[in-house]
Structure 1
Amino acid sequence: MWVPVKHKSSGGRRPKRKVYHRVHELDKVMDFQKKPALILQLKSIIQSQKHQSLLLRDLEKEVGFVQKWNFMAAIEKYPSIFYVGGGNRTPPFVTLAEKAKKVAREEAEAKDLMEPILVKNLRKLLMLSVDCRVPLENIEFIESELGLPNDFKTSLLPKYPEIFSVKEVSGKLYLHLENWDSSIAVTAREEQLGGEGISAPSGLGNKVRISKDGNFLGPHAFRMSFPAGFRPNTSYLDQLERWQKMDFPSPYLNARRFDIADPKARKRVVAVLHELLSLTMQKRMTSSQLDAFHSEYFLPSKLLLCLIKHPGIFYITNKGARSTVFLKEAYDGLNLINKCPLLLFNDKFVALSGRREMNSCNAMHSP
């Protein structure tokens, strides 16, 4: 998704082209996820079988003819994870190697640790919406990003009838919020500022100047991370300073109350996008996934332009099958800074392949 933004020209001069600076580390994240995704998908396929093993002849039925060869290559390349048995009169099959089976048993504990995180994040997702409800198909569209199990409709939602319900509205199933919880109507940005001791205006806002990297110490500021090669001039920094100082309504207040033409309401939209990405496991979503929530969160019609206008907060990469939007502050180079229990388990399992973990120093953290 490459979108050059042209400035209007004057005096007959050729319009200048605004360069969208690439962040190569985040581009590489998309490349580096391919092998782990393949390993984890094959693990799930094997575990879903009745006897925890898959006949190789049935692999094509599970993944298709083209992808079958990628999985066959992975089976051959990682004998420490996948064991191939059979022969003579027994058709060849693949199962998890003994060491992989041992590590795989730890997944149940990781999922138990994930459940309260998932319930909280799903609740917050509904609280962000204008009617405290979201089409169920939209939740299914981002279930992997949230870390929800494939069967969350039957395994998770019925356990919390006091929080969630599924109701039909105009022929479409919606996930409804049954109870509002003011204690969690706090954004990840606010929690981070609170952890840094910045929870309310100190009266020094006018004395503190913005740094050249765009960061500003204040209760209404967003953490910035400009791409390499991005050189903001004084005028840009002055505008950014005014924007960083400007207060704005909470994303958890109903969007219908605000006029999108109001600069504070537009800043609130940035906060909504920031919070949406913060609720995902890897702090990223495809642009189509974000756009799927357009109606529920009153997102701008020109969503892409909104993201591009804030290169210190968001990054859009074309790597992978679809364009992906990253929350930049969540990454340190290639590494996701805080990982939830499920991602930590995935890292441990994939490490059996000999792949060096990209973020081995992380402590267990909820998203």
Structure 2
Amino acid sequence: MEPILVRNLRKLLMMSMDCQIPLEKIDLIQSELGLPKNFKSYLIPRYPEFFSIRDVKGLDHLCLESWDSSLAVTAREENLNFEGFQTCCRGIPKDGNFLGPFAFKLKYPAGFRPNRKYLEEVVRWQKMAFPSPYLNARRVEPATPQARKRAVAVLHEILSLTMERRLTSDKLDVFHNEYRLPCKLLLCLVKNHGIFYITNKGARSTVFLKEAYENSNLINKCPLLKFHDLFASLIGRPCSISNIPLEI
């Protein structure tokens, strides 16, 4: 599983402002990324060509040593097969899904009935070009529609790099400075409810990537999660995301 872990860490660093993230923040999402608890002492030193740990203003940061343009491709772009998307160019798709290079897969609740004006705005948004999440955010003009759409793409990519395609909202917000996330993060997530699902079950709200789920079931489990579930079944424990009482 090590190549997957290394690849995902490199992608997280490549998206950040200065290709570096405080280690204490990586620690916060260590389990969601599938990293071993000793990743700082075991995994990082094994790949000096990719990673280094440096003191930045009194804090240890995980830093990227080399950029790889082949990794600067988002999960959204990798999945551009458009299966089930609206293929006809005439009219407005009833579910908001649009065939295009800058479109996101949308999944609205079964009872959601948007009017035509709403869908027209969604299609305009789907067509709008935006900078890649792997482009340094300093090169993006802030407070523009393109920058706001890029922020959605960054959130989409961060969630795509987790094992279960979900994170609590407070853990996402911790990375505000590194990824220039929206100041009103929850408002951004709610406005894009066709992409993200937020549940307040428990002490913290959790953000799910909707396209990764069919009702409460994760559609395509990553190899790390399959391995985890196999090990859990061998010792008689339930799988990691079974019986989630949600309808995403």
Alpha-carbon contact 1:133-1:175 (below 8 Å) kept: yes
Please give the residue correspondences for 1:12-51 in structure 2 after superposition, counting only pairs within 5 Å. Answer: none
Identity percentage of aligned residues:
66
Aligned with 1:214: secondary structure?
A: coil
Other-structure match for 2:224: 342
Aligned with 1:218: secondary structure?
A: coil
Match for residue 198 of structure 2 among 316, 327, 331 = 316
> Higher helix proportion, which one?
1
Alpha-carbon contact 1:132-1:176 (below 8 Å) kept: yes
How many Å apart are 1:196 and its aligned residue? 5.0
How many Å apart are 1:358 and its aligned residue? 7.4
Match for residue 174 of structure 2 among 277, 289, 292 = 292
Alignment of 1:144 with 2:31, yes or no, is yes
Alpha-carbon contact 2:82-2:99 (below 8 Å) kept: no
Other-structure match for 2:67: 180
Normalised TM-score (structure 2): 0.90
* Cα separation, 1, equivalents of 2:92 and 2:72: 28
Bigger radius of gyration: 1
* Cα separation, 1, equivalents of 2:30 and 2:71: 21
Please give the residue correspondences for 1:213-362 in structure 2 after superposition, counting only pairs within 5 Å. Answer: 213-351=95-233, 353=236
Counterpart of 1:300 in structure 2: which amino acid? Answer: P
Q: Which structure 1 residue ranges, 4+ long, deviate > 2 Å from structure 2?
A: 205-210, 345-359
Other-structure match for 1:130: 17
- Give the number of equivalent residue pairs: 238
Other-structure match for 1:87: none
Uncovered stretches (5+) of structure 1, i.e. residues with no partner: 1-113, 198-204, 360-367
Q: Given the superposition, is the C-alpha separation of residues 151 and 317 from structure 1 closer, same or farther in structure 2, using an over 3 Å criterion?
A: same
Counterpart of 1:240 in structure 2: which amino acid? Answer: V
Normalised TM-score (structure 1): 0.62
Give per-residue Cα distances to partners, 1:8-57, cap 9 Å, x unaligned: xxxxxxxxxxxxxxxxxxxxxxxxxxxxxxxxxxxxxxxxxxxxxxxxxx
* Cα separation, 2, equivalents of 1:232 and 1:329: 19
How many Å apart are 1:339 and its aligned residue? 1.3
* Cα separation, 2, equivalents of 1:282 and 1:130: 25
Give per-residue Cα distances to partners, 1:76-104, cap 9 Å, x unaligned: xxxxxxxxxxxxxxxxxxxxxxxxxxxxx
Q: RMSD of aligned C-alpha atoms?
A: 2.0
